Amino acid sequence: MSVNVAQPRVIQSVTNSQNGESESLTRKLSRRIFDVENRMVQVKKVLVVALIIQLIVMFAWSTLLYNRFALTWDFSQYQQGIWEIHHGYLNPPDTSLRGGLWGNSGQIIFWIIALVTWFTPQGILLLFLQDLFVVLTEVVVLVWAYELITAKVEKSSMWRPVLLGLCGFILISNPWSYWTISWDIHSEPFCTIFCVLAARALYYRRPKSLAIWSVLTITGGMVECEYIVALGILALTLPKSSRKLGMYLIIGGLFWFGMLDYVLHAATSIPPPGQVYGYLTNAPLNGANLTLQQIVIKVLENPTTLIKQLWIEHPNVIAVLSAGGIIGIFNRWGLFIPIATILTNTLSRAFAITAFQNFPAFAFLTIGTIMVILSLLNKKKFTIRSISISKIIPALTAIIAFNCLMWSIIWIAPIKDQWLRTSNSAATILTQALHEIPSSDEVVSSQGVAGRFSKRVNVFIPLVGDWNVPLYGKTVWWILTSQQGIELASPALTYGVMGTLIYQMNAKLVMHGGDVWVFKLHRQPNQTLFTTGLTNETIPGWTVPGPAGKSVVSGPPSSWHTESNGKRGYTVAYAYWQENPGLYQITLKLKLNGKANIEVWNSTANNMIARRKIIGNGQVENLTYEFNISYEIPRAAYSGWGPFQILPNEPAQQNEFEIRLWTPGHVQLSVYQLSFKPAPA
């Protein structure tokens, strides 16, 4: 019998070899995990720095908007309400809103903000708080994404830092977040963080946290109730343990909506549903008299108009979805709340734009995008038409990042032109007026610069042609402009109001400059209401000096005028009227010693329609001309480039026509009055 004594040594050698390979693999895996963890730490540091920089940039931008008085009616209504709460008006009669702060859909969040800012001068702090809440919302989304990534991706996978970085990039580069903070202040940026926290609590099945965050969400009012209802519908798609929570959310959201609307009457100042959505029903008067329930029933019976409107607005829908990563819509957590916000805003006639109204959608679309990629990573062994999903994911991630980058490049740049429409010279006059006007006096202001003047009991902001202004107290200040800020009233109407104040109501012109005019009216006992029509044919000459002109407002008002300053160019400009095509007559009251040109421009198309050369005799004279507008060029707003376009809210389709007077220089020209009206038959 033979014995193989070498066999144990062979087995031992193989075993040692296997152990060595195992140790080598373990060391490699450990090094890879270590590398991944280092990358995660680096990404987190970069994101922290990026978020801090983003917050600083937002603070700086808000400061610039505040100092330039680029704050409109929306800021005014909230600042006035908070200021009144600070002064003991617990249910503030918000005159800028014409119905009270509570009447703006019951936004309790602003009572909470009033408590937070009680011992501060508020003002710019309100903008800073909104900036902070926007960035904190991004932080919450990042924390949630980090939890998902670390739970669902292997420790050794480089997808961990890649996905965390992608999530931060989508959030920080989203241009609509910057548009959100540029448009005054609103409840949506404040309450979105609570809604995201509520969704996160629902994801982890934490009922108590869900209840707390849901209650804080609906402090935003009736609009935020729809977020909770959408979250409840989402919960119904989850396992059975979450469906009861979903029913509670739906019932709670609908209950509070009904309480605010029908019981507490918290919707007295917002447009009725019929005016916003009634057009979808094809009912008489465009459905203006229908209730919300009637509109829903009629739309369900005949959804054709709804579908057509969605198709018309599809660029805005794509803009909202795309800037948030777009594929997030294919995950339930990125579907329900974005769909709720997009539908209610896109289908309305007032909010079909990509700004604060859709802010909640951006957070949920981003977390949904991360969830979709995580789901694909877990299925990377599958193939689609013989192409491995593992090869698709890197390309998909790169496309998402590039897409978000392009939206950022194309739409962050226009923010300045869109929202900063007040000059330094205008801000100087407005600052002087703000310091001079006592908080006890009433203010009537053009809406584009009204925001900072709202720390008072009575501030009125006429919108478009709604110049029905009640007059209280002994002194009423008027802050009027036609070319500064985002103005809704026509320039001719604003100029006409200036003439009425001076010539009919004996108001005093206190200061002017940068196309801002400040008047002080010592109200007479019989002056209780200021009202005017929707249009105005005649404007005072002293209100429209051009680059080569100056306003002369000394002496008796009947002698006020614009006169040439000796330079070559337009002595009179910016005398605008909004009209339809037709035959028109212009009349000018002027005094000219020399030669000049009278020009009529279609400013909408930047087209000169007519020019008349005149030679003056040095005497005051009235000149009348007729001209025909036989065509109309629709006004176009910036809409983006290529696939990165939106459907902006277009201004009025009426053309804006302008009268200008040009001189060659060293000519004496004085203009007292201009009129623009339909020619007599």
Q: What does the pLDDT look like over 166-207, one tens digit per residue? A: 999 999 999 999 999 999 999 999 999 999 999 999 999 999
CA dist 406 → 365, 370, 568 (Å): 17, 19, 44
Mean pLDDT of 456-463: 89
CB-CB contact of 542 with 560 (8 Å): yes
According to the model, what pLDDT value does residue 316 have? Answer: 87
CB-CB contact of 326 with 287 (8 Å): no
Which of 6-20, 400-414, 608-622 shows the lowest mean pLDDT across its residues?
6-20
CB-CB contact of 564 with 671 (8 Å): no
Write down the H helix ranges in 174-265: 175-182, 187-203, 207-217, 222-236, 240-258
**Residues 6+ positions from 1 with CB-CB distance below 8 Å:** none
| Structural domain contains residue 342 | yes
pLDDT(452) > 60? yes
According to the model, what pLDDT value does residue 653 have? Answer: 58
Three-class secondary structure of residue 223 per DSSP: helix
Mean pLDDT of 320-336: 92
Query: How buried is residue 354: exposed, middle or buried, by Cβ count under 10 Å (0-12/13-18/19+)?
Result: buried
**Residue 191 and residue 49 share a domain:** yes
Mean pLDDT of 340-353: 76
pLDDT(5) > 50? no
Phi and psi at residue 476, in whole multiples of 5°? Answer: -125, 125
Q: Which of 403, 418, 433 is the last residue of a domain?
A: 418
pLDDT tens track for 40-50: 999 999 999 99
Provide the 10 A C-beta neighbour count for residue 115: 11
CA geometry: angle 526, 528, 534, nearest 5 deg: 120
Provide the 10 A C-beta neighbour count for residue 195: 27
According to the model, what pLDDT value does residue 553 have? Answer: 94
Specify whether the backbone of 69 is left (phi greater than 0), alpha (psi in -120 to 50) or beta: left
Mean pLDDT for the chain? 88
According to the model, what pLDDT value does residue 13 have? Answer: 54
According to the model, what pLDDT value does residue 339 have? Answer: 93
Q: Which domain does 99 fall in, by range?
A: 42-270+313-418
Which of 131-145, 331-345, 642-656 shows the lowest mean pLDDT across its residues?
642-656
CA nearest 277: which of 263, 261, 262, 289?
A: 289
Q: Quick one: pLDDT band at residue 20, thresholds 50, 70, 90? A: low
CA nearest 670: which of 553, 598, 562, 548?
A: 562
pLDDT(96) > 50? yes
Full DSSP string of 329-393: GGSGGGTHHHHHHHHHHHTSSS--SSSGGGHHHHHHHHHHHHHHHHHHHTTTT-EETTEEHHHHH
| Structural domain contains residue 555 | yes
Q: How many domains does the chain have?
A: 2
CB-CB contact of 403 with 386 (8 Å): no
Full DSSP string of 111-137: HHHHHHTTTS--THHHHHHHHHHHHHH
Which of 42-51, 53-62, 94-103 shows the lowest mean pLDDT across its residues?
94-103
According to the model, what pLDDT value does residue 622 have? Answer: 92
pLDDT(544) > 90? yes
According to the model, what pLDDT value does residue 408 have? Answer: 94
CA nearest 378: which of 365, 368, 367, 393?
A: 393
CB-CB contact of 460 with 96 (8 Å): yes
| Structural domain contains residue 128 | yes
CA nearest 369: which of 142, 132, 54?
A: 142
pLDDT(439) > 80? yes
Top-ranked range on mean pLDDT: pick from 4-18, 197-211, 304-318: 197-211
According to the model, what pLDDT value does residue 356 have? Answer: 87
pLDDT(351) > 70? no
| Structural domain contains residue 95 | yes
Three-class secondary structure of residue 456 per DSSP: coil
pLDDT(494) > 80? yes
According to the model, what pLDDT value does residue 245 have? Answer: 95
Q: Quick one: pLDDT band at residue 480, thresholds 50, 70, 90? A: very high
Which single residue is written with the structure tokens 């090094």? 31
According to the model, what pLDDT value does residue 81 have? Answer: 92
| Structural domain contains residue 474 | no
**Residue 211 and residue 79 share a domain:** yes
Three-class secondary structure of residue 549 per DSSP: strand
**Residues 6+ positions from 160 with CB-CB distance below 8 Å:** 36, 39, 40, 149, 150, 153
- Take residue 329 and report the two structure tokens written for it: 């819509």
How far is 636 from 623, CA to CA, in rounded Å?
34
Q: Which of 418, 451, 486 is the last residue of a domain?
A: 418
Provide the 10 A C-beta neighbour count for residue 561: 24
- Take residue 384 and report the two structure tokens written for it: 């689609």
Mean pLDDT of 254-266: 90
Mean pLDDT of 409-436: 94
- Strand 582-593 to strand 668-678: parallel, antiparallel, or no bridges (unpaired)? antiparallel
| Structural domain contains residue 460 | no
According to the model, what pLDDT value does residue 185 have? Answer: 93
Phi and psi at residue 61, in whole multiples of 5°? Answer: -65, -45
Which single residue is written with the structure tokens 């019929």? 274
- State the number of CA atoms in the 13 A half-sphere of 511 facing the CB: 17
According to the model, what pLDDT value does residue 2 have? Answer: 45
pLDDT(633) > 70? no
The b-or-e profile of 259-272 (16+ CB within 10 A means b, else e) is: ebbeeeebbebbee
pLDDT(605) > 70? yes
Q: Quick one: pLDDT band at residue 1, thresholds 50, 70, 90? A: very low
The sign of the CA dihedral 341, 344, 345, 347 is positive
| Structural domain contains residue 28 | no
**Residues 6+ positions from 12 with CB-CB distance below 8 Å:** none
According to the model, what pLDDT value does residue 265 have? Answer: 84
Mean pLDDT of 491-505: 92
CA dihedral 110, 116, 120, 124 (to 10 degrees): -50
**Residue 109 and residue 248 share a domain:** yes
The CATH number of the domain holding residue 673 is 2.60.120.260
| Structural domain contains residue 388 | yes
Query: How buried is residue 666: exposed, middle or buried, by Cβ count under 10 Å (0-12/13-18/19+)?
Result: exposed
pLDDT(243) > 80? yes
According to the model, what pLDDT value does residue 21 have? Answer: 63
Provide the 10 A C-beta neighbour count for residue 550: 15
According to the model, what pLDDT value does residue 16 have? Answer: 55
Phi and psi at residue 279, in whole multiples of 5°? Answer: -65, -20
The angle, 0 to 180 degrees and rounded to 10, between the axes of the packed helices 7-67 and 175-182 is 30
Mean pLDDT of 548-569: 93
How far is 86 from 118, CA to CA, in rounded Å?
6
The sign of the CA dihedral 307, 311, 316, 317 is positive
DSSP state of 281: G
**Residue 199 and residue 66 share a domain:** yes
How far is 320 from 180, CA to CA, in rounded Å?
12
Which of 32-36, 135-139, 356-360, 611-615 shows the lowest mean pLDDT across its residues?
32-36
Q: Quick one: pLDDT band at residue 349, thresholds 50, 70, 90? A: low
**Residue 680 and residue 550 share a domain:** yes
**Residues 6+ positions from 314 with CB-CB distance below 8 Å:** none
Q: Which of 392, 418, 444 is the last residue of a domain?
A: 418
